[in-house]
A and B are shown apart, each in its own frame.
Chain A
Amino acid sequence: MNETQAEYTQRVVHICLKAGRLMLAGGSEMYRVEDTMRRIAVNAGIREVNVFASPTGIFVSLDNGVASTVTELESVKKRAINLELVDRVNELSREFADKRISLKLLEEKLGQVEKQVPTFPLWLQVLGAALLSGTLMVIFLGKYAWADMLASCLVGGCGYLVNYRFSQHTNVRFLSEMVSAMVMGMIAIGINHLYPPCNINNILVGALMTLVPGMALTTALRDLFQGDLVSGIVRMCEAALTAIALGGGVGIVIKFLGA
């Protein structure tokens, strides 16, 4: 290979940044992002490796002992929870560590992962959200109200769909959650009007669980216990704000339509 040491270091930095960015965008814990980047660099033969990840940006600093240290940073703005992404990149870094793939192949495969991550089709996601709302409502309340369960499935599915579509059209965080909570409230009140035995509270307890920040909360806890205090607190704050957006959305509708 006819590239100088400095160029090689530069390339490793880019690969590290790409891997880190993909994992961070997928919603991984900070500890794992940093660990993966460090492993890639160490396995590529870099002597001094320093990495730092925060929820909005990553830093990599490599020193190969020849030229000056190469340091780069990349900010991460686009985030969509996608655990398949985390798993893929993790798998690739493992393969690289076991010398099953070369650095060049790793770079290519990361590019592939970036371009096309397999996601579940939208209808399956909506079905998942619908099932989740109905079943959680029943086990949370311990009441076998089957009509409420069906209504909850419907409302949860619709709310998830609205959130999915709306978040593609806006850059304002938490707005899509609020709007979908409002839609959920309206549909629930509508169902209650058409079929009075349905309890609005029961329906909404289940349906709102589709948008509850469970992911943010659990990764926040992991981050805090790993000592990544910055990202732990940021994620806690994100979870709290999402919860407030959901509560606000439902609250506005219930107050205005008077349920």
Chain B
Amino acid sequence: MFGMHVNFTLFDLVINLAFSLIATIGFALTINIPHRVISWSGICGMAGWMVYWFADRADLGRMLSNMLGAFTVGLLSVLLAHWQKCPALLFSVPGLVPLVPGAPAYMAVRSLLDGNLPQAQQEVQRVAIVTASIALGVLLSTMFQEAMVKHLRRIHAREKKE
């Protein structure tokens, strides 16, 4: 993982940053998110996608990259929710949209239509793996958050004693 080689141009970086932001905000508009958090939800989606993208570029594999992306979105949405005093759902739902395996799902349908069953099977498996890794990422971020809250409470309790 360390000493990894990541290859991209500045143009790639700018396009990915801008487009993931626009895509997340676009999705947020379709599910009628409150006005005051719309830009933050976009940033949440951008962060998740960029983590995924860097990890993918560094050849960490599809599973680990998706997991890291979902973990970032989950963690960031909890922090933003705490700060903006609103449900974490407002950030995590649009944030995870760029990570949803839309392309392999479409390719699975396409190969099925062409009668290419082995290819379709492979794509379906890919969708399943990506979905499972997103789930794992969300789970890890929930666990992390729980651990953090407990830790902070313990510190508070100790300070009160002293």
A residues with CB within 8 A of B: 27-29, 32, 81-88, 90-91, 94, 117, 119-120, 124-125, 127-132, 135-136, 138-141, 144, 160, 201, 204-205, 208-210, 212, 214-215, 217-219, 221-222, 224-225, 243, 247, 250-251, 254-255
A1 → chain B, closest Cβ, in Å? Answer: 31
Cβ contacts under 8 Å, B131 to chain A: 217
Q: Which residue of B lies closest to A119 (CB)?
A: B32
| Residue from B49, B106, B112 with most neighbouring chain A CB atoms (10 Å) | B106
Of the A-B pairs whose beta carbons lie under 8 Å apart in the complex, a sample of 5, sorted by A's number, is: A129-B30, A136-B23, A204-B106, A221-B135, A222-B92
B93 at interface, CB cutoff 8 A: yes
Cβ contacts under 8 Å, B96 to chain A: 214, 217-218
Q: Is the CB of A139 within 8 A of B138?
A: no
Separation of A110 and B124 alpha carbons in the complex (Å): 44
Tell me the B97-113 residues at the A interface (CB within 8 Å). 97-98, 100, 102-103, 105-110, 112-113
1/0 per residue, CB under 8 A from A, across B9-41: the answer is 000000110111011011111111110010000
Cβ contacts under 8 Å, B49 to chain A: 139
Contact A125/B29 with A212-B102, A217-B131, A225-B138 known, Cβ cut-off 8 Å = yes
| Residue from B20, B98, B103 with most neighbouring chain A CB atoms (10 Å) | B103
Interface residues on B, range: 35 or more
B36 → chain A, closest Cβ, in Å? Answer: 9
1/0 per residue, CB under 8 A from A, across B65-97: the answer is 000000000000000000001110110110011
Q: Is the CB of B22 within 8 A of A135?
A: yes
A4 → chain B, closest Cβ, in Å? Answer: 36
Q: Is the CB of B20 within 8 A of A215?
A: no
Choice from B30, B93, B103, B112 contacting A125 with Cβ under 8 Å:
B30
B124 → chain A, closest Cβ, in Å? Answer: 11
Separation of A81 and B109 alpha carbons in the complex (Å): 26
Cβ contacts under 8 Å, A243 to chain B: 105
Q: Is the CB of B32 within 8 A of A81?
A: yes
Q: Is the CB of B23 within 8 A of A87?
A: no
Choice from A91, A132, A214, A255 contacting B93 with Cβ under 8 Å:
A214
Cβ contacts under 8 Å, A251 to chain B: 109, 112-113
Q: Is the CB of B90 within 8 A of A87?
A: yes
B142 at interface, CB cutoff 8 A: yes
Cβ contacts under 8 Å, B138 to chain A: 218, 221-222, 225
Q: Which residue of A lies closest to B56 (CB)?
A: A142
Cβ contacts under 8 Å, A90 to chain B: 86-87
B23 → chain A, closest Cβ, in Å? Answer: 4
Cβ contacts under 8 Å, B110 to chain A: 201, 254
Q: Is the CB of A83 within 8 A of B34?
A: yes
Q: Is the CB of A208 within 8 A of B106?
A: yes
Q: Is the CB of B87 within 8 A of A127?
A: no
B47 at interface, CB cutoff 8 A: no
Contact A83/B90 with A135-B22, A136-B98, A144-B15 known, Cβ cut-off 8 Å = yes
Q: Is the CB of B26 within 8 A of A128?
A: yes
Separation of A251 and B87 alpha carbons in the complex (Å): 38
Q: Which residue of B lies closest to A247 (CB)?
A: B109
Q: Which residue of A lies closest to B84 (CB)?
A: A87
Q: Is the CB of A83 within 8 A of B93?
A: yes
Separation of A94 and B27 alpha carbons in the complex (Å): 27
B129 at interface, CB cutoff 8 A: no
Q: Which residue of B lies closest to A215 (CB)?
A: B93
| Residue from B16, B23, B33, B93 with most neighbouring chain A CB atoms (10 Å) | B23
